[in-house]
Structure 1
Amino acid sequence: MSKIIEELQQDRKMIFSLIQKKGPLTKRAIQNLTNIKLTTLNRIISDLIFKELIIEESVGESTGGRKPALYNVNSSKFYSIGIDISRTYTQIVLTNLKMQIIKEKRFSGEDWYSSEDLVERIVEAVKGLLYGINITSDYLLGVGVGVIGPLEREKETKTSSTNMGKSSFKSKLIKESLESRLGLPVIIDNGANCAVLGEYFYGFGKGYDNIAYFNCGMGIRTGVITSGKIIRAINDREDAFGHMVISIDGRECYCGNCGCVESYSSIYSIVKEFKSKFKKENKSCTENYLDSIDYKDVFNLANKGEPISKAVVSNSAIVFGTALTNYINLLNPQLVILSGPTIYNSDIFYKLSTEVAIKKINASNANIKFSKGGYFKEYTMAVGAAAMVIESKISLGAERRQQ
């Protein structure tokens, strides 16, 4: 049953995808969008109803005579699992075909210490999500996993080890282990690519050709879609923007360059700069006190107007906004979504960085829209991973991300 969508004929995939994203729709509306003959459309709709992929949901407004039927996807039959693995947490969601979250589970990055342990925690969490609800594996389309890159597609291993701070994991091992334990197909991609895909098809990105997604946290993760296609960096790195050099004589970055965006605008850099400046201004403060300060403390102080933290956060926002200007001028996104811990915890950072970007954009008629968090907010990467499973089966031009 998990292959029922994948095995559809192309015309049925097209109609199903259209109804899924734009439904409920009448037959007339579908015809206007596709130019398919009514007799052909009737056969396709009957087949999709028989396969329980769509339903006749209700009736539409009459234009004279009998009211037309409205068709929508069957949101209570088929499901997808999305997983977002970051340095500090793992988020798991169960979604229906409309990308609505049915259940979700989140656990801390401190709750696992190896790839094998992470797989155990994920399997346990997935079983917990399915417990008590009438969903069998027959109606689960697959598992999408968003991870921190890079993913080395051209090499034999197809994936790379990812440094998660206290330990590392191999994407290939995660994929193979989850497929074995869950009995479902697993697709892995960078979390930022998952996020931008989910927003493009199901969130605030619907109706746009070009959108960009930024997750500002311990690092700066970026996903971009141009003309409906994900633009991939070398080795599928999602931190390419973060290592854009913004000042040739700037701060040293862990990548070996100087003046990278991340060396100013990542959480690590913001906290490090605040502690350095605070210690200079308050020579009597102890190391224990400085060690106890985390990024939320710095952002809270800045939001309250404390001068050192406010100056540090403001400078990081100006750097980020300037780099964002370069990015916008180069790729011309119509919608820019800013997300992640920095955005959610610092009004100053979001407001100032977007103001700088808008002011510096080199286009008099630029009509760039910004979104704080996107449609799915903190669930964007996990929902995007679930969407990746469905899109891999139904989008006629979608890349098959099944490394």
Structure 2
Amino acid sequence: MTSSTLTRLLEEMVSEGLILASGFGPSSGGRRPILYETNPEFGYFFGLEISRFSSSLGFFDVRMNPMSFTRWRMDEAMTPERVVDHVAANMKAILSDHKIDPRQVVGVGIGAVGPLDRERGMILKPLYFSSPGWVDVPICKMIEERTGFPAMLENGANAALMGEQRAMRGSKPMHMLYVHASVGLRSAMMSYGQIIHGSIDMEGAIGQMIIQTDGPRLNEDGNFGALEAFVSVQALEKLAQARAKMGGQAWTDKLRVPPDQIRYDHLLQELRQGNPPVEEMFRQAASYLGIGLANMINMFHPEMVVLGGALMNSFDRFYETAIEIARKNIYYYPQYEPVFTKGELREDAVATGAAFMVWKGMKIQ
């Protein structure tokens, strides 16, 4: 590129407000060069996470600096209409607080639990939502009509992986695996820096990986012996309930709830109190997850594996056990071993990655 062409392009970007002159660099004998930087006020992006336990809304400038984050619980009252109203009200408040004209908002990225129809911007039929109504939801259309901002949809695991890769851009990871273990199991893969999409949304496919022939299944639609029947919030609840009914579990007496009413929050309470039978349940689940991770790693051979979700953060031994079992079952180990991490963004990964998706698709007029 000639210096005259470069100068013209820089002048155009300055006039459009995309970049700013930020000072002068050191001289190498002639005039000191002008330094430029991106203009953080050129445009703004919202990132919306829609998940089962909680959802969140992030607000970012053009440098992808987070300017605001808000999170709320997804209870029985959080129907699609209620969520959209809540999101719209928070967007309005955020823009008002930062004194930003809505016309400067480039768009809204949405990272949601699948299955999805990304092309039509629809959430199809996700499992385990507390509120009814989350079936065939045209979420992009609802957000656009309520806020006036264009919206893009991606499944939450893919969005989280995009966010984490950007946060780790200093180490330049190109081949990555993301696994989220919580109410369900979700995964995403990236090769040469690009998200791998299947012909249909495959976010929850890892949960249907068969790891025990003729084993149990979590629900009527799942495979027998699938990973989700051993590693998920529902799987742990069902196991605890079954053991409580069989008797011999002294910790159930302390809960003061019938076996059928034992929930994940009760199990977390017992974990915090160092209850050995509950700790063993979680370690066993982590071991099964390690087998599932090894299967995916042996198939894909990523350089980095990011692990997220409520189970990963339940207690330290869960994460440690999962990666220990995975390492023992990796083909070519120890010559080949991916880096395991809980990520840089963690619970903010989905909203950040969703906003980044819009950032990457931003069109400069």
Does TM, scored on the shorter chain, surpass 0.5? yes
Which residue identity does 1:239 align to in structure 2? G
Q: Distance in 1 between matches of 2:133 and 2:76?
A: 14
Q: Distance in 2 between matches of 1:80 and 1:62?
A: 37
Q: Distance in 2 between matches of 1:281 and 1:37?
A: 80
Label 1:315 to 1:55 Cα distance change in 2 as closer, same or farther (>3 A): same
| Per-residue CA distance 1:259-283 (angstroms, 9 max, x = gap) | 1111111111123213333443137
Label 1:352 to 1:70 Cα distance change in 2 as closer, same or farther (>3 A): farther
1:249 to 202, 214, 222: 214
Q: How does 1:321-360 map to 2 (within 5 A)?
A: 321-360=290-329
Shift of 1:222: 1.1
Q: Is the 8 A contact 1:200 1:206 kept in 2?
A: no
Q: Is the 8 A contact 2:327 2:337 kept in 1?
A: no
Q: Is the 8 A contact 1:115 1:168 kept in 2?
A: yes
Q: Which residue of 2 aligns with 1:177?
A: 142
1:262 to 228, 238, 242: 228
Q: Distance in 2 between matches of 1:301 and 1:63?
A: 66
1:376 to 330, 334, 345: 345
Q: How does 1:269-348 map to 2 (within 5 A)?
A: 269-279=235-245, 280-282=247-249, 285=253, 288=257, 290=259, 293-299=262-268, 301-302=270-271, 305-348=274-317
Q: Distance in 2 between matches of 1:289 and 1:159?
A: 35
Q: Distance in 2 between matches of 1:218 and 1:204?
A: 29
Q: Distance in 2 between matches of 1:272 and 1:253?
A: 9
Q: Is the 8 A contact 1:115 1:173 kept in 2?
A: no
| Per-residue CA distance 1:15-74 (angstroms, 9 max, x = gap) | xxxxxxxxxxxxxxxxxxxxx443333222222222111223345566666654443221
Shift of 1:312: 0.9
Contiguous gaps of at least 5 residues in structure 1: 1-35, 396-403
Label 1:271 to 1:253 Cα distance change in 2 as closer, same or farther (>3 A): closer
Q: Which residue of 1 aligns with 2:60?
A: 95
In the alignment, is residue 162 of structure 1 matched against residue 131 of structure 2? no
Contiguous gaps of at least 5 residues in structure 2: none
| Per-residue CA distance 1:346-365 (angstroms, 9 max, x = gap) | 21110110111122110242
Q: Is the 8 A contact 2:122 2:140 kept in 1?
A: no
Segment drifting more, 236-245 vs 116-125: 116-125
Q: Distance in 1 between matches of 2:28 and 2:329?
A: 50
Q: Is the 8 A contact 1:112 1:118 kept in 2?
A: no
2:99 to 122, 129, 134: 134
Shift of 1:234: 4.7
In the alignment, is residue 236 of structure 1 matched against residue 228 of structure 2? no
- SS in structure 2 of the partner of residue 363 of structure 1: coil
Shift of 1:146: 0.9
| Per-residue CA distance 1:85-112 (angstroms, 9 max, x = gap) | 0112220111112222101222221274
Q: Distance in 2 between matches of 1:293 and 1:336?
A: 32
- The number of residues matched between the two structures is 358
- SS in structure 1 of the partner of residue 362 of structure 2: helix
Q: How does 1:92-131 map to 2 (within 5 A)?
A: 92-110=57-75, 112-131=77-96
Q: Which residue of 2 aligns with 1:143?
A: 108
Q: Which residue of 2 aligns with 1:40?
A: 5
Q: Distance in 2 between matches of 1:169 and 1:64?
A: 65
Label 1:70 to 1:153 Cα distance change in 2 as closer, same or farther (>3 A): same
Q: Distance in 1 between matches of 2:355 and 2:118?
A: 21
> Normalized against structure 1, the TM-score is what?
0.81
Identity of aligned residues (%): 28
Q: Is the 8 A contact 1:199 1:205 kept in 2?
A: no
Q: How does 1:1-12 map to 2 (within 5 A)?
A: none
Shift of 1:302: 4.0
Q: Which residue of 2 aligns with 1:401?
A: none
Shift of 1:139: 0.9
Alpha-carbon RMSD: 2.7
Which residue identity does 1:216 align to in structure 2? A
Label 1:65 to 1:377 Cα distance change in 2 as closer, same or farther (>3 A): farther
Shift of 1:300: 5.1
Q: Distance in 1 between matches of 2:316 and 2:303?
A: 22
> Normalized against structure 2, the TM-score is what?
0.88
Label 1:205 to 1:91 Cα distance change in 2 as closer, same or farther (>3 A): farther
